[in-house]
Structure 1
Amino acid sequence: MLASCSSRSSPLLTRAMATQKPATGTVGTKKGSTVFPVGEPGPREVKGGGSPIKLLTNVEKLRLLTKAEKAGLLSAAEGFGLSLSAVEKLGLLSKAEELGILSAATDPGTPGALLGLSLVLLVAGPLCVYLVPEQYPWEVVLQVAVVAVAVLGGSAAFAASNFVSSLQRSN
């Protein structure tokens, strides 16, 4: 049936099928560049043709570790057993990279995505209160739970958006 269908296909359909890229293969950008298999991790293209974001340089410029020390965050973390040696033993940095957290910090689209998420969450709370009736106690509990998650999550996403945005600025 497939053979009979393909023999009757229009030239436009045949051309479209011939130009489709295969699901697997390799991708390269310019002459002399490294080729990475499709679907496997590799360097990301920076949008806008700018230079890659230097995360540690920006952390140093913002003096984040000094601010964390003055705020007592490093002492508190060490009090909970989270020292640099514990981070190394637990493999937290490699786990963060596997989850894409460190790569997301250098992705130019991350601050916008986090800001969009925060706006959605901050609208979801009042929307839930408006749409869910208050006839039974469980409905009121549902409203309170959704509003709490929406406000906390929306605020955290908004703060994370601002934080990642300031990390990515190179000025």
Structure 2
Amino acid sequence: MALLVSSMATTQMPLQFASKTSGYKKAATTMRGAGKPATTSNNIKLLTNVEKLRLLTKAEKAGLLSAAEKAGFSLSSIEKLGLLSKAEELGVLSAATDPSTPSALLTLSLGLLGLGPFLVFLVPEEYPWEIGLQVVVALGCVVGGSAAFAASNFVSNLQKSS
């Protein structure tokens, strides 16, 4: 059943009444805009997207799962160590579903890739330790920038496969 309700801006907005409600959610689900589905901000399904991208099959073919098992990482050891709960505490799993994460990682990668040459230019080359500092900073910026760029691409692909 649909009902037209006049708003203050003189436009009419259709409202849809839910037929079945229960408990404390009754007030929240009784009326909602017919044109707007009831969704949350984090509607990205990580495990579904992992399945669609066939990530576990690709990891198996690359030998990553057997290498992890040889190193002592199995699902039971990950569970015993509490790695998934620790990842959630650190916000890693929430960041994977946040739509702003790929752009933030891309910005970080571009910043690091630009910072490396800039610091090499700024640090003088009078002493050998300064040259060593240039090498360490440049390597750190290239590795970090490349990793952030790859992570940005990975998270973007994981989110858009919905």
TM range (shorter): 0.7 to 0.9
Unaligned runs of 5+ in 1: 1-30, 34-44
Q: 1:165 aligns with which of 138, 149, 156?
A: 156
Q: Aligned-residue CA RMSD in angstroms?
A: 1.6
Aligned-pair CA distance for 1:129: 1.0
Aligned residue for 1:5?
A: none
Q: Is the counterpart of residue 110 in structure 1 residue 101 in structure 2?
A: yes
Q: Secondary structure at the match of 1:53?
A: coil
Q: Give yes or no for contact 1:53–1:170 (8 Å, CA) kept in 2.
A: no
Give 1:141-160 correspondences, 5 Å limit. Answer: 141-160=132-151
For 2:63 and 2:106, locate their aligned partners in 1 and report how far apart those are by CA, in whole Å: 28
Q: 1:136 aligns with which of 113, 118, 127?
A: 127
For 1:125 and 1:152, locate their aligned partners in 2 and report how far apart those are by CA, in whole Å: 10
Aligned-pair CA distance for 1:32: 2.3
Q: Secondary structure at the match of 2:99?
A: coil
Number of residue equivalences: 127
Name the structure with the higher strand share: 2
Aligned-pair CA distance for 1:66: 0.1
Cα deviation code 1:26-62 (max 9, x no counterpart):
xxxxx628xxxxxxxxxxx52xxxx710111000000
In the alignment, residue 28 of structure 2 is paired with which amino acid? G
- Structure 1 runs (4+) deviating above 2 angstroms are none
Q: 2:28 aligns with which of 28, 32, 46?
A: 32
Q: 2:49 aligns with which of 51, 58, 61?
A: 58
In the alignment, residue 117 of structure 1 is paired with which amino acid? L
Aligned residue for 2:111?
A: 120
Using the size of structure 2 for normalisation, the TM-score is 0.75
Q: Percent identity?
A: 73
